[in-house]
Chains A and B, each alone.
Chain A
Amino acid sequence: MPKPSIVANAATYRVQGDTLVSDVDLEIAPGELIAVIGPNGAGKSTLLNLLSGDLHPTEGKVLINGIDTSRALPGDLALERSILTQREPIEIPYTASQVVAMGRFPHRRDETNTREQDAEVIANAMAQTDTTRFANRAYITLSKGEQTRVSLARVIAQATPIMLLDEPTTALDVAHQERIMSRVAALAGQKTVVAVLHDLNAAAVHADRMVVMSKGSVVADGGPQEVLQADLLTAVYEQPMVVVDHPFRNCPLVLTAGHQDPT
């Protein structure tokens, strides 16, 4: 078995007496696409922050490609993992390609990495996300969907073996959601991808594996067929749920139900 990309070992995160993530064990293999799902406040983003090294576990530990995040230097982590977060507004008019180029920053000390290579990686990342066309436009003037694609291009340009995505499709319409998710799915295989997702069906279609969080703990971990069970989801989301087969994709389809519906 290949060396795992990310290992969480009894990882716990407490802040001021609240346990946000409790005793999580995870082993993520290279090339996997993992979706982290669960209701608001379940600890998904905190878990992602632990897996990225942004937060250090207060107990237990997290290893990224064998590096203990609690002792890692920021520059070393930046060569192993890239992260797409919720965007904060940028107040000055960087062009889209300038934003993508910033993804190359961690490679500045690599002597084998030439200016031409940087340019090529940036161009490829923009081609993959369909953003080449507005390379010279100011990032702030782009639509939400376009901005997300540019940010994704920046994350791709960082060229790390691991990619972490925090709600990459939030605030996008269904067409853009589907486009972003297919691109992310196309990257998995070459890269390890961990994505926090709200859309259970997008997760079901694209993820190899799903991790369900509830009240700070992992309550289910497995393939979509295995994890997306009506009773589990109903309990976790405190909302009646139905799971049926997708009409033609080989995966489950999750629907909400009313409290009076015959579930």
Chain B
Amino acid sequence: MTASSESTHDSDPYANRRRWVGPVVGLLLLAVAWGALSLGAVSVPTGEVLGVLAHKVGIDVFAESSAQAEAVVWGLRMPRMLLAFTVGATLALTGGVLQGLLRNNLADPHLLGIGPGAAIGAAIGSSAGGVQGAIAGGVAAGVMSAFAIRRLTRGASIDPTRIILSGVALGAALSAWAGFIVFAADRATVPPIEFWLLGSLAGSTWRAFGTVIVFVAIAATVMLASARILDIFRLGESDARHLGIDVDLVRTVILIAVGAAVGATVGAAGVIAFVGLLVPFVVIRFTGPLHRHLLVVSLAGGALFVAASDLVARLAIQPIEIPVGLVTAAVGGPVFLWLLTRRRDA
């Protein structure tokens, strides 16, 4: 099942796969970036896309780009692409982190209820302060939901499936509350319910991206710095304690980071389901289980998955745009089911 038959000098059977997974994901990201900037209702030729980008960094070597191309590429598609990358990277990273922290391959920030909880705060924040209010509210409520998860998962050995069931129940209830708030709020300022529950990158702005990236950068640094600790958490909490880890402190810090990062993405793009579950599940097959490899590649893989899904959401039924969460769920849902049924005999 593993690649242990390859006799490398490296002590790790995944070493060979890791060598090429990075470049491959990198190339795919470039391809998706091209699609995200070039394709759509208005198709902008590659040369003109490059012209706009070069012009923005102060080089005017390419053909003169039209004002319309600049408005579309730089004003609309660029922030949308960057936000898709950021949201995807965050969801996949936090999924991988939660799976390690809770020793549970089914863990995902939205399935655990963090996303739906954040949506309540984001909807409230949105009615008060637009997209930045939504992001701030999402961060606050995301952290609070993460603490709710902390309470649910306290204790040495809780059945992993039960944790997920609790999370799903919690998420359903919190989604309903988010719905009440959205319907009670002013429709002119607060995005509609399908934005919150199904996720969408349609309203992406530079301002939204700029706000989200601040929270995500800080939280991601904390999470990536914890890679070796998460490796040990996978052995079990008592082993982690025996190896000198302050288990409660680590859980608290990481859950705050997860809650803040996920909350920020919900404020900007709603709840985009199954990314955190699906991406690490696929990535671990290429990187092996050590978190320093798994988390970094998941970050890139999540960016790729959400940006590619958003491209599908924009292009599939033109001129209508479908919520990006529908695309990610269509792919991720079956994988989740398969994981659930496989658990019993694993």
Chain A residues in contact with chain B, CB under 8 A? Answer: 52, 54, 73-79, 82-83, 85, 87-88, 90-95, 97-99, 102-103, 105-106, 108, 135-138, 141, 158
Q: How far is the CA of A137 from the CA of B346 in the complex (A)?
A: 18
Q: Is the CB of B241 within 8 A of A54?
A: yes
For residue B55, CB closer than 8 A to chain A, the reply is: no
Interface flags, B244-257, vs A, CB<8A=1, else 0? 11110000000000
Query: A79: nearest residue on chain B (CB-CB)?
Result: B244
Given contacts A91-B105, A92-B289, A93-B288, contact A158 B238 (CB under 8 A): no
Interface CB pairs A-B, < 8 A, 18: A54-B241, A74-B247, A76-B244, A79-B244, A88-B235, A90-B235, A91-B103, A91-B234, A92-B234, A92-B284, A93-B1, A94-B290, A95-B12, A98-B231, A103-B243, A106-B244, A136-B13, A138-B4
For residue B228, CB closer than 8 A to chain A, the reply is: yes
Chain B positions within 8 Å of A73 at CB level: 246
Q: How far is the CB of B236 from chain A (nearest CB, A)?
A: 4
Q: Is the CB of A82 within 8 A of B242?
A: yes
Q: How far is the CA of A138 from the CA of B234 in the complex (A)?
A: 14
- If over half of B's interface residues share one DSSP class (helix, strand or loop), that class is named, otherwise mixed; here it is loop
Given contacts A92-B284, A98-B12, contact A74 B246 (CB under 8 A): yes
Chain A positions within 8 Å of B244 at CB level: 74-79, 105-106
Query: B343: nearest residue on chain A (CB-CB)?
Result: A91
Chain B positions within 8 Å of A92 at CB level: 105, 234, 284, 289
Query: B243: nearest residue on chain A (CB-CB)?
Result: A105
Q: How far is the CA of A162 from the CA of B234 in the complex (A)?
A: 24
Q: Is the CB of B234 within 8 A of A78?
A: no
Given contacts A74-B245, A91-B105, contact A102 B11 (CB under 8 A): no
Q: How far is the CB of A100 from chain B (nearest CB, A)?
A: 10
Q: Is the CB of B346 within 8 A of A91?
A: yes
Q: Is the CB of A52 within 8 A of B242?
A: yes
Interface flags, B1-42, vs A, CB<8A=1, else 0? 110100000011100000000000000000000000000000
Query: B228: nearest residue on chain A (CB-CB)?
Result: A105
For residue B341, CB closer than 8 A to chain A, the reply is: no
Chain B residues in contact with chain A, CB under 8 A? Answer: 1-2, 4, 11-13, 103, 105, 157, 228, 231-232, 234-236, 238-239, 241-247, 284, 288-290, 346
Q: Is the CB of A93 within 8 A of B242?
A: no
User: Among the listed A54, A90, A97, A135, which residue makes an inter-chain contact with B238, where contact means beta carbons less than 8 Å apart?
Assistant: A54
Chain B positions within 8 Å of A95 at CB level: 11-13
Q: How far is the CB of A63 from chain B (nearest CB, A)?
A: 18
Q: Is the CB of A83 within 8 A of B232?
A: no
Q: How far is the CA of A88 from the CA of B242 in the complex (A)?
A: 14
Chain B positions within 8 Å of A108 at CB level: 228
User: Among the listed B1, B105, B157, B243, which residue makes an inter-chain contact with A78, where contact means beta carbons less than 8 Å apart?
Assistant: B243
Q: Is the CB of A102 within 8 A of B235?
A: yes
Chain B positions within 8 Å of A138 at CB level: 1-2, 4
User: Among the listed B11, B236, B239, which residue makes an inter-chain contact with A135, where contact means beta carbons less than 8 Å apart?
Assistant: B11
Chain B positions within 8 Å of A83 at CB level: 238, 242
Q: Is the CB of B288 within 8 A of A85?
A: no
Query: B284: nearest residue on chain A (CB-CB)?
Result: A92
Q: How far is the CA of A85 from the CA of B243 in the complex (A)?
A: 12
User: Among the listed A85, A91, A106, which residue makes an inter-chain contact with B239, where contact means beta carbons less than 8 Å apart?
Assistant: A85
Query: B245: nearest residue on chain A (CB-CB)?
Result: A74
| 17 other A-B residue contacts (CB within 8 Å) besides A75-B246, A92-B284 | A73-B246, A77-B244, A79-B244, A85-B239, A87-B236, A88-B235, A91-B346, A92-B289, A95-B12, A95-B13, A98-B231, A102-B231, A102-B232, A105-B232, A105-B244, A138-B4, A158-B243
Chain B positions within 8 Å of A94 at CB level: 231, 234, 289-290
Query: A106: nearest residue on chain B (CB-CB)?
Result: B244
Q: Is the CB of B228 within 8 A of A97?
A: no
Chain A positions within 8 Å of B103 at CB level: 88, 91
Q: Is the CB of A90 within 8 A of B234?
A: yes
Q: Which 9 residue pairs are nearest across A and B when measured between Cβ atoms?
A: A78-B244, A92-B289, A75-B244, A88-B236, A106-B244, A83-B242, A105-B243, A74-B244, A74-B246
Query: B241: nearest residue on chain A (CB-CB)?
Result: A74
Query: A77: nearest residue on chain B (CB-CB)?
Result: B244
Chain A positions within 8 Å of B288 at CB level: 93
Chain A positions within 8 Å of B247 at CB level: 74
Q: How far is the CA of A74 from the CA of B242 in the complex (A)?
A: 7
User: Among the listed B2, B243, B284, which residue makes an inter-chain contact with A102, where contact means beta carbons less than 8 Å apart?
Assistant: B243
Q: Is the CB of A106 within 8 A of B238?
A: no
User: Among the listed A52, A82, A105, A137, which residue makes an inter-chain contact with B4, where contact means beta carbons less than 8 Å apart?
Assistant: A137
Chain B positions within 8 Å of A78 at CB level: 242-244
Chain B positions within 8 Å of A158 at CB level: 243
Q: How far is the CA of A79 from the CA of B243 in the complex (A)?
A: 8
